[in-house]
Structure 1
Amino acid sequence: MFRRWLILAIVILIYLPVAMDATILHVAAPTLSEALALSNKELLWIIDIYSLVMAGLILPMGALGDRIGFKRLIIIGSTLFGIASVFAAFSDSAMRLIASRALLAVGAAMIIPATLSAIRNTFLEEKQRNFALGIWATVGGGGAAFGPLLGGAILGHFHWGAVFLINIPVIILVLLMTIFFVPKQKVQTTQNLNLLQALILVIAILSIIYALKTGITAFNWMSITIFTVGFALLAGFIQNQFRSASPMIDFHLFKNRFISTGIIMAIVAMMALVGFELLISQELQFVYGYTALEAGLFVLPFMLAISCGGPIASVLVNKFGLRRIATTGILLSGLSMFGLAHTDFASAQLQAWGMMILLGISVQIALLSSTAAIMSSVSPEKAAAAGAIEGMAYELGAGFGVAFFGLMLSWFYMQSIVMPSDLPQALIPAVSSSIGEAMYVANDMDISLATQIQDNAKAAFIRSHRQVLNTSGILLMILAAYVWLRLPNPHRKDRVVESLG
């Protein structure tokens, strides 16, 4: 009995830094931009490479765990995660930090299925297993939500690299506990890994996003070619999965409208959550002069709302049905975006916090509704495949959120920025690219010109922020209508309740 809960403690310890690293850099974006002289594209890659690489690798790493056992997978994944954390902490360029974050994602893609496998194989009694899974989900959601606050606290006292070094003591403790206290498991040596298909999926996703990020500032044949290659690889991957006897992703599940709708809800809800968190962290620091810690504290109501939204959502879904609650959650998320778009964070803090609380709860409702839609629509033997697809959708949503919000922000900022008349021609591309680069350029100008650059950049960012949130609100409204039409007949109540555990 004691060993079960000790294994759960190990699972929680290693899952916490994995969850936090998805969001801990959001509040550090301005600091990173200044310390490494980053372009906006480099900053976005540093942040979202983690989720995008993890999304493509998490399914085959689960199969690897079946072949070698979750103990070995935890050891290998934790070791990689620790090494990557050290590399990231001491990176002195954008490319090294991007590569380190990609390696972090490889380790994380091993750790997540290993922790779930550990719970599934350790807690054989259903009630205990559900309790352990509940703790696992709480740690994951709470870690991601409070990542920016921890990042802000660390940046207030230490070098930015410390946000990665805090992983090392946890990794060492987990490795020692795993080696000495976790028993070996039976393995399935015939399990298909699909590593080549996973690599093709990752390359396809990264190529498409790279082409979009490049095309926003320099639309040319190179960006068109890379996008075409990425799209072709993605199409080939999907075609291969349909024909494969043992696919990495069972796309036949997407024919079920509840599952396909749930996947879309999961991706969009995560995009809204992660994208908004990144955007507000930059605005608070660049525009309003908040420190990283002050920015983290400002968004604390949003984090708390996300953490507390799960129980509220489960009660509402059980009482009013999936269709109504899913649609309402997405609709309220859109209204929250509109409200935040027209809120002055400096003079109307209470209004900002109220809107953030509403957004946090409504996004969490949408996320839980997506889980209910997916898991209540499959047979027990398909539950693992559906759950794996949902997990990948969450990571894709996190990566797409950074890319989507970042691209929209860049586009609107470039359209809004007003250049000082005496700004040297060579500096215009940098100043018009992002507020971070504009602030960096201003540091080397005389006081008068620097003030103009900073004021114009802040004004452009505020206008861009409003346009991004308004656009997001419109898209969420469209999604709400789609979900209402797509889920015309609610599931039986007992199936929804079962899906919520």
Structure 2
Amino acid sequence: MSTAPTAHEAERTTPLAGRREWLGLVVLMLPVLLISIDGTVLTFAVPSITRALAPSGTELLWAVDIYPLLLAGLLVTAGSLGDRFGRRRLLLLGAVGFGVASVLAAYAPDVRWLIAARALQGVFGAALMPSTLSLLRNLFLDQQQRRLAIAVWASGFAGGAALGPVVGDALLEHFWWGSVFLVNVPVLAVLLLAARVLPESKDPSPGRLDLVSVVLSLTTMLPLVYAITSLASGSPGLLAAAAAALGLGSGIGFVRRQLSRSDPLLDLSLFSSRVVTAAISANLLSIAALSGLLLLASQYLQLVLGRSPMDAGLLLVPGLAASVLGGLAAVPLARRFAVRRLVVMGLLLGVAGYAVATRLGTGTSPGLVVLAFGLVAAGAGLAETLTNDAILTAAPPERAGQASAVSETAYELGTGLGVAVLGSVLGAVYAARLVLPAGLDAAEREAAGTLGGAFDLADRLPADPAAALTENAREAFTAGMDLTAGIGVGVMLAAAALVALVWRTPPADA
């Protein structure tokens, strides 16, 4: 009488990755680094772009925000297209398109041209990202090797975020603002030349592409991401509220349509697993914690402690290195401890980091900021590696693109939510606690609504009111930091409790 193989027997019979597969991982790291660097490097070029192209405030906002907006909004559609038409093919298409868009952005003669080029970068960036993670699912069949590959892949995001400020500062010191885009081209050329080591993979029987579902996916994600971005920028307004309503309404229609079709654009049965549900939630919340604290720590170091942008970026590099180490440590730890417990441990490291951040003051040592950010980043690296692995493992190979898109959408939404929610809380506390000198007019009071604005205003005031405004603004900002960090503690505790309660592996899959 034959019996099904045990988990250990299945592991022994799973083919191991060889040199070609590991070389493929190196190739797949290139677009991950580029996408991550492009998300942060533009902020350093904003002053140069403003001088060269003279954009309005709205135009400059769109030049910065259109890229992450389209990138996050198109991931689900792109993942499904990769499953249907080939993930390697979609990767190559994305690489060519991203390279062309980078050249167009580098030589933009005006800001509208730049906005259009950044939009194209977002579109083709969305084609790149699900392909990278879904190809890993098919390159690395052994679970331990795949987990290590995902840890290396995830480190590309942290590495890119760390390199963005350094690369941007170095390029702008020696070249014109367009160089921050043009640097993408040689890297993408290497990707195209080396892509022959990547095997093609796709769903052998994908069914027909449902264009109505594609439209509903876009009208769900794009408005929701826009609403989150508007909240993060501090200008939600009626348009953002309308966008959120449209996104939610389209999302309901999208879910209903997927449930009624035999060949859905997104297989919602992926979410029937409690493991996947908990993993996606932990992924989103851990990244929200990391991105939110990155925003707070960067502002604190520059505006409260008076560090230069370059110094602030370098002080945060150890934390991003901790994220990489946390991800790599997940591989040996997962051999000895339950994955659920390790994810909870990662979230609790985030709790500890935010607890440290509640102790910041106007004269705190930068070392305390480095410690707080390092704890949160290490926990996020540990949790993200394991949650991505859990999501990919739960999905059948033919749905790898969809699973990758879901995981990366959680990443992008978590990034936006972390910045939006924590940034909004900080801004509200700052405005409530700020004590302004007497005699300021309405325009001056509005200008002091941010810490940077208060410092600019202080430069135009007499010595005594300027000193009082500067000190009061710093104290109001640190009060906002303390309360925001306290909220971060509560959110991360709730995330750890959610994973502990929901993440239950069925006995047959244990």
TM-score over 0.5 for the pair:
yes
> How many angstroms apart in 2 are the aligned matches of 1:281 and 1:190?
47
Closer, same or farther: CA 371–337 of 1 in aligned 2, 3 Å: same
Q: Give runs of aligned pairs for residues 411-422 of structure 1, distance below 5 A.
A: 411-422=428-439
Are positions 1:327 and 2:344 aligned together? yes
Match of 2:3 in 1: none
TM-score by length of 1: 0.79
> How many angstroms apart in 2 are the aligned matches of 1:37 and 1:417?
32
Match of 2:228 in 1: 209
Offset of 1:476 from its aligned partner? 1.2
Match of 2:319 in 1: 302
Match of 1:169 in 2: 186
Offset of 1:106 from its aligned partner? 1.2
Deviates more, 1:356-365 or 1:8-17: 8-17
Match of 1:475 in 2: 491
Match of 1:408 in 2: 425
Deviates more, 1:391-400 or 1:76-85: 76-85
Offset of 1:2 from its aligned partner? 9.2
1:294 counterpart letter in structure 2: D
Match of 1:62 in 2: 79
TM-score by length of 2: 0.78
Offset of 1:110 from its aligned partner? 1.2
1:255 counterpart letter in structure 2: S
Offset of 1:249 from its aligned partner? 2.5
Closer, same or farther: CA 240–111 of 1 in aligned 2, 3 Å: same
Closer, same or farther: CA 2–257 of 1 in aligned 2, 3 Å: closer
> How many angstroms apart in 2 are the aligned matches of 1:464 and 1:284?
14
Residue among 252, 257, 264 paired with 1:235? 252
> How many angstroms apart in 1 are the aligned matches of 2:293 and 2:451?
17
Closer, same or farther: CA 250–346 of 1 in aligned 2, 3 Å: farther
Q: Secondary structure of 1:278's match? A: helix
Q: Secondary structure of 1:299's match? A: helix
Match of 1:367 in 2: 384
> How many angstroms apart in 1 are the aligned matches of 2:136 and 2:391?
21
Residue among 463, 470, 475 paired with 2:479? 463
Q: Give runs of aligned pairs for residues 44-443 of structure 1, distance below 5 A.
A: 49-65=66-82, 69=86, 73-86=90-103, 88=105, 100-116=117-133, 130=146, 135-154=152-171, 162-175=179-192, 192=209, 194=211, 195-209=214-228, 212=231, 224-344=241-361, 347-375=364-392, 377=394, 385-432=402-449, 434-441=450-457
Closer, same or farther: CA 224–201 of 1 in aligned 2, 3 Å: closer
Could you give the per-residue CA deviations for residues 209-245 of structure 1, whole angstroms, max 9, x where no partner exists?
A: 266468x6676x6654444333322322233332233
Offset of 1:126 from its aligned partner? 6.0
> How many angstroms apart in 2 are the aligned matches of 1:339 and 1:467?
12
Closer, same or farther: CA 104–39 of 1 in aligned 2, 3 Å: same
Q: Note if contact 1:50-1:399 (Cα within 8 Å) is conserved in structure 2.
A: no
Deviates more, 1:323-332 or 1:224-233: 224-233
Offset of 1:270 from its aligned partner? 0.8
Q: Secondary structure of 1:350's match? A: helix
Q: Note if contact 2:356-2:372 (Cα within 8 Å) is conserved in structure 1.
A: yes
Closer, same or farther: CA 423–172 of 1 in aligned 2, 3 Å: farther
Deviates more, 1:327-336 or 1:384-393: 384-393
> How many angstroms apart in 2 are the aligned matches of 1:166 and 1:273?
27
Q: Note if contact 2:68-2:122 (Cα within 8 Å) is conserved in structure 1.
A: yes
Could you give the per-residue CA deviations for residues 231-265 of structure 1, whole angstroms, max 9, x where no partner exists?
A: 32232223333223333332333232221111111
Are positions 1:486 and 2:505 aligned together? no
1:482 counterpart letter in structure 2: L
Could you give the per-residue CA deviations for residues 382-418 of structure 1, whole angstroms, max 9, x where no partner exists?
A: 5554343222212221222222233223222222332
Match of 1:499 in 2: none
2:489 counterpart letter in structure 1: G
Q: Note if contact 1:37-1:437 (Cα within 8 Å) is conserved in structure 2.
A: no
Could you give the per-residue CA deviations for residues 115-157 of structure 1, whole angstroms, max 9, x where no partner exists?
A: 4566677x59869984766654443443244434444554566
Q: Secondary structure of 1:21's match? A: helix
Closer, same or farther: CA 134–55 of 1 in aligned 2, 3 Å: same
> How many angstroms apart in 1 are the aligned matches of 2:331 and 2:176?
41
Offset of 1:333 from its aligned partner? 0.8
Structure 2: which 5+ runs fail to align? 1-17
Q: Note if contact 2:67-2:122 (Cα within 8 Å) is conserved in structure 1.
A: yes
Closer, same or farther: CA 45–160 of 1 in aligned 2, 3 Å: same
Closer, same or farther: CA 318–234 of 1 in aligned 2, 3 Å: same
> How many angstroms apart in 2 are the aligned matches of 1:439 and 1:98?
30
Closer, same or farther: CA 435–228 of 1 in aligned 2, 3 Å: same
Offset of 1:460 from its aligned partner? 2.6
Q: Note if contact 1:51-1:396 (Cα within 8 Å) is conserved in structure 2.
A: no
Offset of 1:298 from its aligned partner? 0.6
1:16 counterpart letter in structure 2: L
Q: Secondary structure of 2:448's match? A: helix
Could you give the per-residue CA deviations for residues 354-385 of structure 1, whole angstroms, max 9, x where no partner exists?
A: 33332222222222342354345455665554
Closer, same or farther: CA 411–92 of 1 in aligned 2, 3 Å: farther
Q: Percent identity?
A: 32
Q: Secondary structure of 2:353's match? A: helix
1:196 counterpart letter in structure 2: V
Q: Note if contact 1:287-1:458 (Cα within 8 Å) is conserved in structure 2.
A: yes
1:336 counterpart letter in structure 2: G
Closer, same or farther: CA 5–298 of 1 in aligned 2, 3 Å: closer
2:496 counterpart letter in structure 1: A
Q: Secondary structure of 1:469's match? A: helix
> How many angstroms apart in 1 are the aligned matches of 2:24 and 2:368?
44
> How many angstroms apart in 2 are the aligned matches of 1:176 and 1:321?
40
Q: Note if contact 1:48-1:399 (Cα within 8 Å) is conserved in structure 2.
A: no
> How many angstroms apart in 2 are the aligned matches of 1:343 and 1:310?
27
Deviates more, 1:466-475 or 1:421-430: 421-430
